[in-house]
Amino acid sequence: MGAAPATPRRPPEGNTTVRLGLLGCGNVGSALVALLDEQRTAITARTGLHLEVARVGVADVTKPRPVTLADGVLTADLDRVVEDAAVDVVVEVMGGLEPAGRLVLAALGAGKPVVTGNKELLAARSPELLDAAAKAGVDLLFEAAVAGAIPLVRPLRESLAGDRLERIVGIVNGTTNFILTRMSESGQSFEEALAEAQSLGYAERDPTADVEGFDAAAKAAIIASVAFGVDVRADDVHREGITGLSVDDIAMAERLGYTVKLLAVAEAVGDEIAVRVHPAMVPHDHPLAAVREAFNAVFVEGAAAGELMFYGRGAGGRPTASAVLGDVIDAATNLRQGSSWGLAGLVPARIRPIDELESQYYLTVDVLDRPGVLEKVAAATARHRVSIRQMEQLGMGDEARLVLVTHMARERDVQATLDDLRQLDVVDRVGTFLRVIGPERT
């Protein structure tokens, strides 16, 4: 016989104080504490709630922090934060899969709402966590896990709940957007732009999660799950990073009327969901092309609402803490009212393979500069039903570089074309391969 579901904890009737337990007090956690101190009076005036930090669990209690906490609040015993009867809402801002996953499940099992910004955890275990929250009848809120301060999860699950969402395309990693902006506007190499991003604190010492697309893939999985009500994990997301891009690629894209961005794309294709992260060429007149530096933006297409765009700071302590605080207020309000928001029961997703993707493509092919080369290249593209929309030829001494932009084509046909081109005796190298957003729809 299974255990009875936890009874949601509710503050005593008439008590407006909601006590928070924080797991983690790093960049975001410290910013959240500071923001609470700054906004406490305004929050109470607007909501009637008094939010108080009761416990803060950290790995090292001796580490200097930019905020002051009351005596006895800080603890190295993370379980104590969850188990403390005085804690009403648990806020997880420590990151990582463990012990965060165990602690979040323990909090939900104890009937305590949880607010988290942990994209890695949600992308790996969201159905389990959401089901646990539903069984306990409490909130699991995660606005900060997707796009920092940008409100996206709430509009997707509330404002657009009555619409049939078709496609979501977004710039959801500020580090890569900063790097690509520098490569485009200043002509910096990838290595130079990355070094600047690291010096400004936009990129970690080990930037792999950002530049190889792992961070964006985790966010894409969360977006797809919320938007389409299906179980999408990070491993379901086709992922490509930006490390293979050169300044020449960026410059040629600009010359052709495009800006290169690392995009997260989630779309419904029949009864399947296509989810992917990769660099793409975006037309200059598309709203996403104008998103610069470390900013994020997400473009949403709905059957009824049409096109919407959400834009703002996607990272940083205070912007992310702002999103966390918004969720905390929602969770505290729902706790007092005895209600909760649920996204349990995600159905298994049918993931559309990347080979079935239809898009336009940008290709570069280095060939010997001699008569008959174009005919051989054209024959290879025609053999796989890949139609060329635009072509330029650049001289390089004894060689030439062919720059091709296709009409809409199936990915597997384009990949087969590339395989054939590599076998031609007149082809020295098949270079850059990028997908193109418009003017035909990807």
Active-site positions read 219
Tokens of 282: 């975006």
C-alpha distances out from residue 105 to 55, 67, 419, Å: 18, 28, 48
Distance CA 264, CA 155 (A): 18
Distance of CA 111 to the CA centre of its chain: 29
Considering only CA atoms, which of 132, 85, 84 is closest in space to residue 104?
132
> What is the spatial distance between Cα 321 and Cα 327, in angstroms, rounded to a whole number?
10
Secondary structure of residue 90 in the 3-state scheme:
strand
| Run of H or E including 293 | none
DSSP for 13-36 reads: TT--EEEEEEE--SHHHHHHHHHH
What one-character DSSP code corresponds to residue 408? S
Contact 56, 123 (CB under 8 A): no
In this structure, what token pair is assigned to residue 187?
A: 């002509």
Rounded to whole angstroms, how far apart are CA atoms 156 and 101? 24
CA proximity to 261, closest of 295, 227, 233: 295
Query: Largest Cα–Cα distance of the chain, in whole Å?
Result: 87
Q: What distance in Å separates the CA atoms of residue 276 and residue 168, rounded to the nearest whole number?
A: 11
Which of 124, 82, 130, 86 shows the shortest CA–CA distance to 106? Answer: 82
Closest CA to 402 of 430, 382, 440: 430
Q: Determine the Cα–Cα distance for residues 260 and 434; give it in Å rounded to an integer.
A: 9
- 250 vs 103, 188, 279, 357, 360, CA distance in Å? 44, 10, 11, 23, 17
- Radius of gyration over alpha carbons of the chain, in Å? 25
With H, G, I as helix, E, B as strand and everything else as coil, classify residue 141.
strand
- What are the beta bridge partners of residue 313? 295
Alpha helices in 155-213 (DSSP H): 174-185, 190-199, 208-211
- Look at the block and give the residue holding tokens 């960049």: 27
Cα separation, 232 vs 393, whole angstroms: 42
